[in-house]
Structure 1
């Protein structure tokens, strides 16, 4: 049986979207170890195809040559194949330093000599799940791949008990977006939506999302701010047991999709053609493809971190009452 090391992306949403690739590799008999930074490792612990998760001692930015070289020596001889999912030079260094015989990845950042099997990067922005799944070398059915995460029922029950909640007795809002403000639905819209739904709402996110979540909670009494107060694994459990989830295009949007939770996903500067929530119970709002929205959003998708034109129409003009109707529709059809 082949032993494979998967070098994971450093973003939660991207990590979720790699699950179909791992499912393909596992199905053909590869024993999978995933190397991931600590803030992404919980995603892979929710994938039953993964035999082991190695938490890398790396941080954002910097080559960290010494740490990579030491870890490379420790991993020498342990793996037959490495799949390098990020496109960066430094992500391809570890499999090279570990002398893993077969090293698979996309071309990028002058790393030709670090990879033994190289795929050309697509010119456009393809669906990311298919982009990752193609690293398997298989071509059939990539467009049908959907991420699926699993949690033990005891993990979910423990997270609910810690917050005094019951399954399906609350909604989750994930109002953050690590990428930038161009992907965030306005605070006042989230607050108005919470007030109109009149159900308990948990606000989830990282510590960086705390100010946004505090502002929403201050304006909507039925909201409880847990941003920065749960582990990622606990946040997963609370999402998995929620009645519905409302989010921006973010990592937690993909988590909700992978658990099959009814959801409404709000897209602004990014595109649901590139990173959709692959979930039959999902409703997507993107004014770019809304024929009734005028004047048309010729600027979208810009994929910018901040609105280059300063108007943020792509999200500001999504009304809370529209989203409320979509939430009810997603729940009733699930």
Structure 2
């Protein structure tokens, strides 16, 4: 969803006065509410894999009266193209995907070599077919309301400050994308010794990793994993001086907040979905066995992340903050 904002920005550049609505899952709405390019976020109530043809038909019919000119369908699934079809939107654009003949009438053939990045594939849908992608691409930029941000900190018993490190300990995809909790703990202790507040940020699914890192840090880290909504997590990252993150959704959020960012890569690669920010520092050991793109290490050792030491990451933090201080 963060990468989709790049498409939204490009659409506004191409069509001044555009009114842009986005049909998306409920959990993404806190992100969409921070994108000034979006007029309205419309709830997509269907969970992954759910068919519910009748409900999709009724949702599409309810959107007919809005008179949309065009829809751009980003997912490649057959089901994702049903609601725009039922809504009778005249131009329905997207990549060929799963047997979508008829559902999409502006079906594009994807050249993966020409458009290696996901964000490039999104933005290319804003232009006419076979157009040359115009560079540079706009960068995502989530908005922040300072009053709401400070209210979030107060609610969580936190204080704003000049030296705050947010450590994002989770990664939805699997263990092979997660730096070990003991490394986060050791980094947290080093940062605390340098006078930083250290916050562990993540969803409820990251609670175990957050609790382990907090325990091993001996109180140096404040564990906030599972204690915030997504909206509040964005406020936490917006309050940070530096963010250290696995390759995860929060990594992309930090990039869209223009925060100095240390992005840790193990089994995955920045070659498809890199953080879209000039302030992102990508850290990888580039071992012969990585990237393997597996959820769990097929060799059983996870050396691509285990051997990435807290001191190496601390050194990258020093470089990132020095660049920030000197413009």
1:191 aligns to what SS in structure 2?
Answer: helix
Say yes or no: does 1:181 pair with 2:175.
yes
Query: Equivalent residues in 2 for 1:7-22 (5 A)?
Result: 15-22=1-8
Residue of structure 1 equivalent to 2:110: 121
Tell me which of 251, 254, 262 is aligned to 2:252.
254
Q: Distance in 2 between matches of 1:205 and 1:59?
A: 22
Tell me which of 209, 216, 219 is aligned to 1:212.
209
Choose 267-276 or 142-151, whichever is displaced more. 142-151
Query: Equivalent residues in 2 for 1:140-151 (5 A)?
Result: 140-151=133-144
Q: CA RMSD in A?
A: 1.6
Q: Distance in 1 between matches of 2:311 and 2:101?
A: 51
CA contact (8 A) 1:129 1:146 kept: no
Q: Distance in 2 between matches of 1:96 and 1:55?
A: 17
Give TM-score scaled by structure 2 length. 0.91
Tell me which of 38, 42, 50 is aligned to 2:30.
42
Say yes or no: does 1:165 pair with 2:162.
no
- Deviation string for 1:230-282 (max 9, x for gaps)? 11111111101101110000000010011111110001111112111122222
Residue of structure 1 equivalent to 2:99: 110
Distance 1:242 1:24, change over 3 A: same
Tell me which of 287, 295, 299 is aligned to 2:289.
299
Q: Distance in 2 between matches of 1:308 and 1:107?
A: 33
Q: Distance in 2 between matches of 1:193 and 1:89?
A: 45
1:55 aligns to what SS in structure 2?
Answer: strand
Residue of structure 1 equivalent to 2:284: 286
- Deviation string for 1:276-322 (max 9, x for gaps)? 1122222111122xxxxxxxx33322222112222212111111100
Give ranges in structure 1 of 5+ residues lacking alignment: 1-14, 289-296
CA contact (8 A) 1:264 1:282 kept: yes
Q: Distance in 2 between matches of 1:108 and 1:238?
A: 37
Q: Distance in 2 between matches of 1:122 and 1:142?
A: 17
Give ranges in structure 2 of 5+ residues lacking alignment: none
Choose 239-248 or 76-85, whichever is displaced more. 76-85
Q: Distance in 2 between matches of 1:66 and 1:307?
A: 42
C-alpha deviation, 1:169, in angstroms: 3.7
Q: Distance in 1 between matches of 2:135 and 2:77?
A: 23
C-alpha deviation, 1:139, in angstroms: 3.2
Residue of structure 1 equivalent to 2:299: 309
Query: Equivalent residues in 2 for 1:77-88 (5 A)?
Result: 77-78=65-66, 79-88=68-77
Give every structure 1 segment of 4 or more consecutive aligned residues whose post-TM-superposition deviation is greater than 6 Å.
Answer: none
